[in-house]
Structure 1
Amino acid sequence: MSKSLVAFFSHGGRTAAVARRVAEAAGADLYEIVAEQPYTDADVDWRDAGSRTTLEGKDPQARPAISGSVADMDSYDVIYLGFPMWWYREPNIVDTFLDTYDLDGKTVVPFCTSGGSPVSDAVPTIAGNAVGATVLEGATLNGPTDAQVEALVAQAR
């Protein structure tokens, strides 16, 4: 039997709420990706060309530091990876998470919350950073129904 982890990054709490639902539906452990230097509301102001997330989004190599780590990543076969879409892709801190662990042979199922960009916009970058993993289609989950959450979980079954 495979063991699953829901790893997620959330700034405003919307992605965290969805991640908890995915973890419950999948019977998965939950891990929050926390920035070593927390993001402020000013940092995530997409209208500000000088905001932290705008600058990170323009530099695909930016890797904000994470506080903490997954205790036993080797024990997980499936990683449900949740995040808000920032600048048409996953936040750079999610790339930091992907770069931190050996994901060879694991299955990664991305899900996002988004005001307009679908998760498919982030899948190529995630696949490039999750070396050796199988990255599935995933889903955009904004206020998802139980059926939508179950459909995401079913992708890895």
Structure 2
Amino acid sequence: MKAIHLGLRQRRSPALESSFFDPEMPAEWRVAYLLNEQDALWVAGDDPDVETVLAELDDSPNAVFVVVEDAAWSAAWQSLADAGPHAIVRLGDDTPVWRPEGGDQPAVVGLVPASDQPADLHAWLSAFLDQAPAEAALFVEGEPPSVATVDRLRTLVELMGR
């Protein structure tokens, strides 16, 4: 059985600050909160909270699937990857990323747009799983980020018995 992890690509979007996170929540708590809600995390090259992310992953009792853009990669990420238990993927220019609109190349990381259409989400999820290795992560992209789409995907994964 394949393990599929779900998350948001734009986790640092200002829209999440007003719609997902409690406005009273300190910024340094947001990564921990997000890790309680999702098991995949995308770290962009320009993210200013990389040290917070590394610390939260180091303290996390659960394994997390982490995608780290090449520009954010450092020796600290390599050490965390070597130590486990997290699955950490270094995303460079030559790393394939699956998208619904095409590409037959197998990929461990996928991106889908936000959607409230169950048929589209099911088709995208099924197509991603068909090409994915044993452990992979599917991220929802778009501005504003759609926590609802991640939740819909999670429900579909559960209904599919994954």
Is the TM-score greater than 0.5?
A: no
Greater share of helix: 2
TM-score of the two chains, using structure 1 as the length reference: 0.30
Q: TM-score, normalised by structure 2?
A: 0.29
